[in-house]
Amino acid sequence: MKIGIFCSANSDLDPDFFSLTRELGAWMGKNGHMLVFGGCNMGLMECIAQSVHEAGGRTIGVVPQIIEKGGRVSEYVDVNVACDNLSDRKDLMLLQSDVIIALPGGIGTLDEIFSVAAAHTIGYHHKQVIIYNMKGFWNPTIRMLDDLQSQGAIRGSWRDYIQIADSLEQIQLFISQL
């Protein structure tokens, strides 16, 4: 399976996020899952790519020109898919992925999660986003989504498009059901 990962390119994060990301990457690599990621050599992006690669897995890096020009492409990219900008990167990552997992991240990760979920709600695709809620990182976002739904701003249940996983075991269960 091709698993897209949305995550932070920052290195100044809780060290546990890196440990949990390495665990996820090792599981992906050992189980023959291919990583689709943003191709950057920083933060959780580099961590997931390195751990997948070291566990014998393969990676697809969807790399915007600005990352390439800045010399920030991960050495763990096996297949480099060049793109013009972040919008193209999102589209190409979604196209290449069977499922998306969101690790801790910031504005870019939020944009990616909501773009994929919004496209799912109107029928452009049927791919799931799994939010890996490491140490409760995504709890404020989950509360916000619940609040939006309770106020009628979301038709149906947002959980039809976005799954929440608090552990690697829950991710494995979601993946096994796809």
Would you identify the CATH topology of the domain 2-176?
Answer: Rossmann fold (3.40.50)
pLDDT for res 60: 98
Q: pTM for the whole thing?
A: 0.96
Extended beta strands in 30-137, E state: 34-37, 59-64, 79-83, 99-102, 129-132
Continuous H helices in 122-157: 139-150
User: Strand, coil or helix: what is 178?
Assistant: coil
Structural domain spans, the chain:
2-176
Which DSSP letter does residue 58 get? Answer: -
pLDDT for res 178: 86
Spell out the residues 6+ positions from residue 87 whose beta carbon is closer than 8 angstroms to its own.
none
pLDDT for res 68: 87
The CA distances from residue 3 to 40, 68, 141, 156, in Å, are 16, 22, 22, 26
67 in Cβ contact with 41 (< 8 Å): no
Taking Cα atoms as reference points, which of 123, 143, 119 lies closest to residue 131? 143
Q: Would you give per-residue pLDDT tens digits along the chain (178 residues)?
A: 999 999 999 999 999 999 999 999 999 999 999 999 999 999 999 999 999 999 999 999 999 999 888 899 999 999 999 999 999 999 999 999 999 999 999 999 999 999 999 999 999 999 999 999 999 999 999 999 999 999 999 988 999 999 999 999 999 999 999 8
